[in-house]
Amino acid sequence: MVRKSRLILSGLLIASFLTLSGFGFGQVIICKALVRSYENLKPVEVPQEDITPQWMLTLVNTERPLSGELDFPKDTINGYTFDARAIDDLRAMMQAAKDDGINLLICSAYRSIAKQTELFERKIRQYQNAGYSYEDAYNIAKTIVAIPGTSEHHTGLAADIITVDYQVLDEGFAETAAYQWLKENCTQYGFIMRYPKEKQDITGIIYEPWHYRYVGKNVAEKITANDWCLEEYIEHLELEREKNLTGQAIFAENTGE
């Protein structure tokens, strides 16, 4: 027990030092070293998901709103801001579609909470001007514009993608060749169609065949293979972690650790 605690403590200290020094990759090495030493101690497999960087799994919805702006590296594609760590995959997807004769168009990507607040307040004013009370205007506005802090566009990992021939954000987009292409190919670039028709009860968002979310290739494949939405995947992950923790506890009991 003492040996393990010391190992964890020194690992954490070095990892913190490396974080402060800006050596992000150092943490990965330390974490891998910790996982390796753990493997000698317990018979629990580390799930693949556990090595997915946390930023790829950021979950934002009406139940898990952000309390402040997220800080992440930004870059732009066709004038739209996106997370710089994921933008190459987005570029590659747009290019691959083009090579297949499909002209995809990004029509929305990163949106700050400040910008969302502006849009939201404008919508409220619009209804107030039409004679509604503030409360009624607010309730109508939230069905049209996401409440600031609850939009996945705040993460910089979501993009609304349409096509030159069909530039309306409605279900009709699902009938286009562009949608078909995205459906067949987005996974291999690390994207998922975030708000499927049959998951509206879980996501709390209407069917949006145009809204794509970056989660990285491993996770995108897993979500697609299991027919999950992001909320279901995160829940699965939490259950797995719980199981592993229980596994560790049982092992510790058996070995007197």
Binding site for Zn ion (CB under 5 A): 160, 211
Is residue 208 flagged as an active site residue? yes
Tokens at residue 35, please? 């996982």
Residue 53: CB minimum distance to Zn ion, A = 22
Rounded least distance, CB 194 to Zn ion, Å? 8
Residue among 109 and 124 whose Cβ is closer to Zn ion: 109
Minimum distance between the CB of residue 250 and Zn ion, rounded to whole angstroms?
Answer: 44
Instruction: Round to whole Å and give the CA distance between 182 and 196.
Output: 13
Residues 6-32: b if buried by 16+ CB within 10 A, e if exposed? eeeeebeebbeebeeeeeeeebeebee
Residue nearest to Zn ion (CB): 211
Q: What is the DSSP letter of 166?
A: B
Minimal distance, residue 163 CB to Zn ion, in Å? 15
Q: Which residue matches tokens 């050596």? A: 23
Cβ closest to Zn ion, residue 49 vs residue 160: 160
Given the residues 208, 232, 253, 257, the one annotated as active site: 208
The nearer residue to Zn ion, 160 or 232, going by C-beta atoms, is 160
Rounded to whole angstroms, how far apart are CA atoms 63 and 56? 19
The neighbour count for residue 61, using CB atoms within 10 Å, is 16
Which C-beta is closer to Zn ion: that of 176 or that of 244? 176
Active site residue ranges: 208
